Amino acid sequence: MTKEKKGDIMKERRRVLVAVLVLAGVALLAFVAGVSARPMSAPASMQFQVSYQGRLADASGNPVANQSVNITFRIYEQTSGGSAIWTQNSTVATDANGLFTTLLSVDPPLKAGGVEAINNLWLGVQVGSDPEMTPRQRLTGAPYAFTLIPGAGISGTVSSTQDPKAMLAINNMGTGAGIVAQSEKGMGAMFNSSEGPSLVVGGSVLMEGANLRRIALHRWYEVNEAGIRFAVGGEPKGAVFDGMSIWVSNSITNTVTRRLVSDGSVIGNYPVGHYPIGMAFDGGRLWVACRNDNTVSVLRMMDGQLVATVPVGTNPNGLCFDGRFIWVVNEGSNNVSKIRAGAIPPAVVDTYPCGSNPRMVAFDGKNIWITNETGGTVTVLNPATGAIVATYAVGTAPIGITFDGASMWIANSGSDSVTRLRSSDGGLLGTYPVGDEPRGLAFDGGYIWVTNFSGDSVTKLRARDGSLVGTYEVGDGPRGITFDGCNMWVVNGNEASLVVL
């Protein structure tokens, strides 16, 4: 090739030889090599090909038409000098306008150990036996990721001081999932770490399969649908788990029964105030709302001894603990009492108004949520000031409420449904039919369980979408329900029994 043609080709290269999509694709190949595609097990041989287009012209600007020309492509880590980390020789055929297309095939990794800096890669082009053109072309971004091809992997080094602190960061601004992993036969996902935790979850976790404790104990809800029954006191209402045992409030006998979750054996029956209903556990003591006394009984966990009686509003019902305070819903006075849990003796710090006929209460990590049976609403309070943050309409006669880490679930006893609200802003995520007169709710990490008082059953809903999983017969008049990390415990109010699912 003449010097004139070579010089013209070099000039023409600056104008038309560079193809943006080509360089983008080559840059992507460099990225694959930079992170070193190493699958868990050897996949079928993968070849990455990118279409490269250019135009050759002579010294006068006339196209080098209808000719076969040899071109050598190289990738470097330097703008000049150095050794190529990838090379390909291609014989291209030009058309009447001097245009040509060829495929660049990169077999990663480009070099042992991967490329040091994927943002500093350069493409060299040599036509025929002429010297390589200068300057080299910098490789830029890519529209597609070859690392998403089945069998490919990502390997590299990311420090915890970097941002983001991960090899792969995904931020979904919508309502769907950030990652969905599904497998026809094998595991949906596998996490492994030679040092440090293999999986760290900052938000809520929905486990739709069996949880680890249930697997270890070989316990399955569907297998044990008939349930194991234990006797409790007269007309039991509520149930709460303390990490070792289940406590049941017996409204007619004015006691609470405590049974070990390991075998259901009775630890004790302890007297409280008149007509106990709702309960809450603060890590060391049990708090029991005594409806007809307008008080809350406080029991020491280790021996069930009554250590305090706290006057509250009229007809207290539901309780919850926010990590510092106990919140007591007073149905008869349409307000909620705030008690400092660690105070000796405990006393009401303040009382705040809420909706009409409040029944149950839950904490979402930020706000206090209260169901208002008569108003068909839930009231959201600021726990620091007691100010009403918002009021949201739900179904008819809402009673039970629970939090799944992202959403609030409300049992609408008058409309035989469950309402799901986004906890951050109260947005309606769905309303789902359940059994007759739903009362209690519990979350097990993947599912919402609902007691249907008049239906004598428990409904199981999938937490991520509210779809019906199953309905299980339990006993006469199920009300309270709690989860111990393995089993569901259901209180049957009309037959004085405690059923384990």
Average pLDDT, the chain: 83
Decide if 426 contacts 411 (C-beta within 8 A).
Answer: no
Identify the helix (H) or strand (E) that includes residue 106. strand 99-106
Query: How far apart are the C-alpha atoms of 357 and 437, rounded to whole Å?
Result: 17
Identify which has the larger pLDDT, 141 or 81. Answer: 81
363 bridge partner residues: 368
Mean pLDDT of the region 35-43: 40
Mean pLDDT of the region 474-493: 93
pTM: 0.68
Residues 6+ apart with CB under 8 A from 59: 2, 4, 5, 7, 8
Residues 6+ apart with CB under 8 A from 153: 37, 38, 39, 40, 147
**SS3 (DSSP) at 26:** helix
* Residue 328 backbone phi and psi in degrees, to 5: -120, 120
pLDDT in tens, 308-343: 999 999 999 999 999 999 999 999 999 999 999 988
pLDDT at residue 10 in the model: 41
pLDDT at residue 142 in the model: 58
Query: How far apart are the C-alpha atoms of 470 and 449, rounded to whole Å?
Result: 10
Decide if 135 contacts 80 (C-beta within 8 A).
Answer: yes
pLDDT at 56 over 90: no
Domains in the chain, CATH or no CATH each: 3-148 (2.60.40), 214-500 (2.130.10.10)
> Between β-strands 228-231 and 48-55, what pairing exists: parallel, antiparallel or unpaired?
unpaired
pLDDT at 237 over 60: yes
Angle at CA of residue 379, ends 377 and 381, nearest 5°? 175
Query: How far apart are the C-alpha atoms of 307 and 170, rounded to whole Å?
Result: 50
- Number of H helices and number of E strands within the chain? 3, 34
Residues 6+ apart with CB under 8 A from 488: 221, 442, 444, 449, 458, 481, 482, 500, 501
pLDDT in tens, 413-469: 999 999 999 999 999 999 999 999 999 999 998 999 999 999 999 999 999 999 999
pLDDT in tens, 385-409: 999 999 999 999 999 999 999 999 9
Tokens 């694709």 found at = 25
pLDDT at residue 203 in the model: 66
Q: How many CB atoms lie within 10 A of CB 310?
A: 20
